[in-house]
Chain A
Amino acid sequence: MSLATLLLLADGRLPSGGHAHSGGLEPQIAAGRVRDVDGLDGFLRGRLATGGLVSAAFAAAACADTGRAAELDVGLDARTPSPALRRASRAQGRALLRAGRAMWPVPAIGREPHQPVALGALAAAAGLTPVEAAVAAAHGTTTGSASAAVRLLGLDPYAVHALLARLAPECDRIAAVAAARSGDPVDELPAAGAPLLDIGAEHHATWEVRLFAS
């Protein structure tokens, strides 16, 4: 494993389209459900336990065996009831692949895979392990929304990073759980969901003015 390579893959500055997505936060802020750092804490813990776990498991599985990419992709479709979130995940997967192809020899896994599948394939191509792919996925779940919160709510960036530091052990734990299951049949991989995020995403997609793509 290469720690520096993992940092590169998990870096928010990787040009992979992530900056334009709030991870479902923008509609929740508009609905008044997240207003401050405490609200963000709850949001991120919920995300990590649901979408974060699913992303981590699928990234780990794709890293363990990139040959399963197509099957994993279908599995994520089944776990993503909101069409808007499917589009968002595929758009981010496509953008991530674009960045990854410039960096490592990534095998063909389709033009617009779900983001976790692309992440796992990139991790494998970069010589990383499934648990590292899972950490990058869990970490991305929290940091993406956290940075959106700083921009949307004007939160104190130090307070937000203090929160991220408190959540780091939880990211590691989720990643370990996810990686331990990376060889499981697709149907048995985690399928946790957050219906309010699905509903929020569908509303968000119809807004006339929005700052984030999802």
Chain B
Amino acid sequence: MHPELHEHGPDEVPHTHPDPGVDPHTPLAGGPRALRIGIGGPVGSGKTALVAALCRALGEEIRLAVVTNDIYTTEDADFLLRNGVLPAERIRAVETGCCPHTAIRDDISANLDAVEDLEEKLGPLDLVLVESGGDNLTATFSKGLIDQQIFVVDVSGGDKVPRKGGPGVTTADLLVINKTDLAPMVGADLSVMDRDAKARRHELPTVFLSLAEDKQATPVADWIRGLVAARV
């Protein structure tokens, strides 16, 4: 309720009415915050490989940092370090108490704190990638945590995955179908996956990728470049 809508009498407990239209959170340090992109998808589909590729592709052109939600507290960070794609101070790990899903959707506090810590320590950033722990087809990120989400599935589970749908496949801003190099080995028909993805996702974009072959994740990096450019 706004102050003008009622009187404050002398016998009232002193109180104020925060404007519901005003964000009660203190603004993040260093002006406008970074674009935040969530990367979700089933276990082993290539989320970390995608993060690494994006760091390779974008690390030189924009200021970026990564938050991970893996149960191996240092695994993802080690991977990015080993591959020389991102220095340790640009990576934060969040523990999720057996509930990878909760940490990105229902209780996003630890991830928000990690993002804020990175921005505070490193100064203004253009992009923060938040990799969720490997989960199932229903995993999606809260809009309170991220601006856009990428869902990564792979072809090795067969070509039925897009048809099965689920919130990740249907609603993600970008669907990545990874490991196309394995398609012949598992008998997955990419045209079936393409058709099913279109049926499930209508206008939302889907890209096919083999991170084993494209170390820069070119179509995904281009999609992100477009988003970053649109913000400034």
Q: Chain A residues in contact with chain B, CB under 8 A? A: 13-22, 91, 94-95, 98-99, 101-102, 105, 148, 151-152, 207-213
Give bound CA distance, A105 to B108, whole Å.
Answer: 21
A18's closest neighbor in chain B, by CB?
B107
Tell me the interface secondary structure of chain B in the complex. loop
Q: Chain B residues in contact with chain A, CB under 8 A? A: 15-16, 18, 24-25, 71-75, 94-99, 102-103, 106-110, 112-113
Q: Are B98 and A212 in contact (CB under 8 A)?
A: yes
Give the residues in chain A near B18, CB-CB below 8 Å: 105
Q: Are A91 and B113 in contact (CB under 8 A)?
A: yes
Q: Which 10 A-B pairs have the closest CB atoms?
A: A95-B109, A213-B95, A20-B97, A15-B107, A151-B98, A17-B109, A212-B97, A211-B98, A19-B97, A19-B102
Give the residues in chain A near B96, CB-CB below 8 Å: 19-20, 211
Q: Which of A18, A101, A211 is most buried by chain B, counting CB atoms within 10 A of its CB?
A: A211
Give the residues in chain A near B112, CB-CB below 8 Å: 98
Give bound CA distance, A22 to B99, whole Å.
Answer: 12
| From A16, A101, A105, A152, contact of B98 by CB (8 A) | A152
Other 6 A-B pairs with CB < 8 A, given A19-B97, A19-B102, A210-B71: A17-B113, A19-B103, A20-B97, A148-B97, A151-B97, A210-B73
Chain B: minimal CB distance from A97 (Å) = 10
Give the residues in chain A near B97, CB-CB below 8 Å: 19-22, 148, 151, 211-213
A152's closest neighbor in chain B, by CB?
B98
| From B95, B108, B110, contact of A210 by CB (8 A) | B95
25 pairs of residues in contact across A and B, judged by CB atoms under 8 Å? A13-B107, A15-B107, A15-B108, A15-B109, A17-B107, A19-B106, A20-B103, A20-B107, A20-B110, A91-B110, A98-B25, A98-B112, A99-B109, A105-B18, A152-B98, A208-B72, A208-B74, A209-B71, A210-B73, A210-B95, A211-B96, A211-B98, A212-B95, A213-B95, A213-B97
Give the residues in chain B near A208, CB-CB below 8 Å: 72-75
Give bound CA distance, A151 to B98, whole Å.
Answer: 7
Give the residues in chain B near A211, CB-CB below 8 Å: 71, 95-98
Give the residues in chain B near A91, CB-CB below 8 Å: 110, 113
